[in-house]
Amino acid sequence: MSFVETITGWYASHMNYASITALMTIESSFIPFPSEVVIPPAVYVASEPTSALCATGNYSVDVALIVLFGTIGAMLGAVINYLLSMWLGRPIIYKFADSRVGHLLLLSSEKVQKAERYFNDHGKVSTFIGRLIPGIRQLISIPAGLAKMHFGQFMLYTFLGAFIWNSVLALLGYIAHGQADLINQYSHELSIIILVIVCVVVLYYVGKLVYKKLRA
């Protein structure tokens, strides 16, 4: 049984706001764990009060609070990556990524370099947009820490990105009604759609700001 399967089995019988926060903290740190098996199942429980999961009377969760605590957990995990990267520095982070433990955690210097390149190319806003991109979202906090990005800005962008992503998963979980295969099938495509929408919104506001400056 894999690590994810073990945790998922435990989560099925310990679903509450604390476990949601803890698992999303793990998901957002350098430990590989999919958020798709945390938020959507919890939303399923919240939206189906007559389900077998609720029959034991051990579950009482609200969709809005699931998203909130999931976002808090994502922020905690991101802060772990940020602080470790800032304190340890680039040489140790890259050495750890290529170590045996790093490889067990599915890390590599190539993945860290990819995240750092994305951060350098897109600037601070990448900590927001990067939260919506598979393969980047868990690691984008590392280059932010290495660059010693302003902590307040880092937290704001991380909150916005994590909130949007968790809201998407919550919606997907509600629509899919706990069907893990359907969630896994469309979460990647849906994240791309959301990313495009976010980029359009960002470009709109940037264009509006530039237009005002040109007219001034």
Mean pLDDT of 56-70: 73
In this prediction, residue 52 carries a pLDDT of 43
In this prediction, residue 55 carries a pLDDT of 40
In this prediction, residue 2 carries a pLDDT of 56
Per-position DSSP letters for 80-136, written without gaps between them? HHHHHHHHH-HHHHHHHHTSHHHHHTT--HHHHHHHHHHHHHHGGGHHHHGGGSTTT
In this prediction, residue 53 carries a pLDDT of 45
> Would you say residue 181 has pLDDT above 80?
no
Q: Across 35-44, 123-132, 138-147, 202-211, which has the greatest mean pLDDT?
A: 138-147
In this prediction, residue 187 carries a pLDDT of 56
Instruction: Give the pLDDT band (50/70/90) at residue 188.
Output: low
> Would you say residue 72 has pLDDT above 90?
yes
Q: Give the global pTM.
A: 0.73
> What span, in angstroms and rounded, lies between the C-alpha atoms of 123 and 59?
42
> Which residues, other chains included, contact 197 with Cβ-Cβ below 8 Å and sequence gap of 6+?
none
- Please choose, from the candidates 17, 18, 37, 41, the residue with its C-alpha nearest in 3D space to the C-alpha of residue 27: 37
Look at the chain and report how many structural domains it folds into.
1
> Would you say residue 163 has pLDDT above 60?
yes
In this prediction, residue 186 carries a pLDDT of 53
In this prediction, residue 54 carries a pLDDT of 45
Chain centre to alpha carbon of residue 124:
17
In this prediction, residue 199 carries a pLDDT of 67
Minimum mean pLDDT among 30-39, 41-50, 79-88: which range? Answer: 41-50
Mean pLDDT of 41-50: 71
> Would you say residue 14 has pLDDT above 60?
yes
Residue-wise pLDDT for 103-141, tens only, equals 877 788 888 888 888 888 878 888 888 887 777 778 889
> Which residues, other chains included, contact 47 with Cβ-Cβ below 8 Å and sequence gap of 6+?
63, 173, 174, 177
- Which range of residues forms the domain containing residue 46? 3-215
